[in-house]
A and B are shown apart, each in its own frame.
Chain A
């Protein structure tokens, strides 16, 4: 059971928009920044979003992040088949004193 809760899977058609949620508590998302990672099949994770809503250099602006209270979201617009991957949220937890990850969400582009 992960400290941060994500839906196990989401699916959407090409060119559409999808959002992936990440639910936590006041000791993690509510008080610390959220980061998002994309893990393509058989590959290492890649940083997508940091500090809730910032895009690293080289990451497509089709990706965006937001946060409200103890929940965060990753949005992907203009879906492409290459976006099929697992997506993970992460944040520091002040109670556990450790970085925690969500359980991951598998995105399927129909």
Chain B
């Protein structure tokens, strides 16, 4: 079955760029029909959807984060990545990569989650 695994630094300094990678195993990103997304959870809080990418490179971002977010895909490595620029302490959270299915846009839903990785923004 498809599994997702996040990787990247657990500590990022304020004003720098947070970079995470999600490695997909058990299936190909290029097979189509799925969108690949990032979602975060602030400590002790609820979930915030960041955005998604299709294997073709088409993206959609949360408008509230759009100016700082870049999601990219590397089909040769079966990976997709998140970059969040100009981070502050408010970006401290557990970051999940996930798979979405069910059409496009409003009809999509997350069906598989990675285990999550904690990222702390601190000097």
Contacts and interface: CB of A to CB of B under 8 A. Distances in A.
Contact of B46 (A43, A56, A102): A102
Nearest to A36: B109
Given A50-B109, A90-B110, A104-B46, 5 more contacts: A33-B106, A37-B47, A45-B113, A98-B49, A103-B46
B111 A44 contact: no
Given A47-B109, A47-B111, A94-B106, A88 B62 contact: no
A98 B62 contact: yes
Interface residues of A, number: 26
A46 B113 contact: yes
B47 A44 contact: no
23 contacts: A32-B106, A32-B107, A33-B106, A33-B107, A33-B109, A37-B110, A44-B115, A45-B47, A46-B113, A47-B110, A47-B111, A50-B102, A50-B109, A90-B47, A90-B109, A92-B106, A98-B49, A100-B49, A101-B46, A101-B49, A102-B46, A104-B46, A104-B47
Contacts of B63: 96-98
Interface residues of B, number: 21
Interface of A: 2, 32-33, 35, 37, 43-47, 50-51, 56, 88, 90, 92, 94, 96-104
A43 B114 CA distance: 10
B96 interface: yes
Given A44-B114, A97-B63, A98-B62, A88 B46 contact: yes
B74 interface: no
Interface in B80-123: 96, 102, 105-116
Interface of B: 46-49, 62-64, 96, 102, 105-116
B89 to A, nearest CB: 20
Contact of A44 (B48, B64, B102, B113): B113
